Amino acid sequence: MAVAPQLEAPGPAVRQPARVAAPLIELAGVEKTYRMGRLDYQALRGIDLTIGTGELVAIVGPSGSGKTTILNLVAGIDRPTSGSVVVDGLRIDELSEEELAVWRGAHVGVVFQFFQLLPTLSALENAVLPLDFARRWSKPERFERARRNLDLVGLADKADRLPAELSGGEQQRVAIARALAADPRLVIGDEPTGNLDSVTAGEMFELFRRLNDEGKTVVYVTHDRELAARAHRTISIRDGVVVAA
């Protein structure tokens, strides 16, 4: 009589490694020192930081901690004193000023606290401005893209209004439409809700969340703890170093 083969007891389940998004932003050993008269001010002190593709990240910390400096380095607005800044596989701190300007116009959308809209241009003209500077697409195509972006932020019906004819929240929406001009993979906000009331700030955050849901990586600086807590991840900066990531 044949003997049935003995079956081995199943071992413990093997945990599959968590899927981690490929890094879009990588800062390694980044230091930044500013010359202020006769004194040097060290804004960043050896930052190592990685942000994955598709993340929604808040950067928090006290005033003067280095938050905005990090954003400026990632956007190619500033350069590190030492260390490397890599965005989407490209070492941007090694690019020339002209190369940086072209790269930034194509790949990064920046939203500032104070809107920085040109007062004599309409909402539509402000939204199309980056495309005019970049000389990308024909003029009709530029305006069509700008109209789509104004529609995305809920301002299609106010395209012809001047900034002075818009509320603060509406001006910030125009600024976001302008940041989306070239359909960038990375959207950066430097205190983008700092000049807005709490209700309007919540609406702005929902717009950022929607952009993130559509695949854009969103990184923003905020002093608002509630808005920071709604990000996928919060990075805390203090005295030029990362204290929590």
Q: Report pLDDT for 192.
A: 86
Q: Indicate whether 238 pLDDT > 70.
A: yes
Q: How many domains does the chain have?
A: 1
Q: What are the strands, taking DSSP E only, across 61-112?
A: 82-87, 90-91, 108-111
Tell me which residue of 41, 49, 102 sits closest to 73, measured CA to CA.
49
Tell me the CATH number at 176. 3.40.50.300
**Is residue 109 classed as helix, strand or coil in its secondary structure?**
strand
Higher pLDDT, 21 or 173: 173
> What are the pLDDT digits (tens) for 198-216?
888 888 889 999 999 999 9
Higher pLDDT, 3 or 110: 110
In a domain, 155, yes or no: yes
User: Alpha-carbon distance 202 to 101, whole Å?
Assistant: 31
In a domain, 24, yes or no: no
In a domain, 117, yes or no: yes
In a domain, 19, yes or no: no
Q: Indicate whether 92 pLDDT > 50.
A: yes
Average pLDDT over residues 155-159: 93
- In which order are the strands placed within the sheet that holds 90-91? 39-52, 23-36, 82-87, 90-91
Where does the pLDDT of residue 3 fall: very low under 50, low under 70, confident under 90, or very high at 90 and above? Answer: very low
In a domain, 212, yes or no: yes
Tell me how many helices (H) and strands (E) the chain has: 7, 10
In a domain, 25, yes or no: no
Give the residue numbers spanning the domain of 211.
Answer: 55-77+97-244
In a domain, 149, yes or no: yes
In a domain, 120, yes or no: yes
**pTM to 2 decimal places:** 0.85
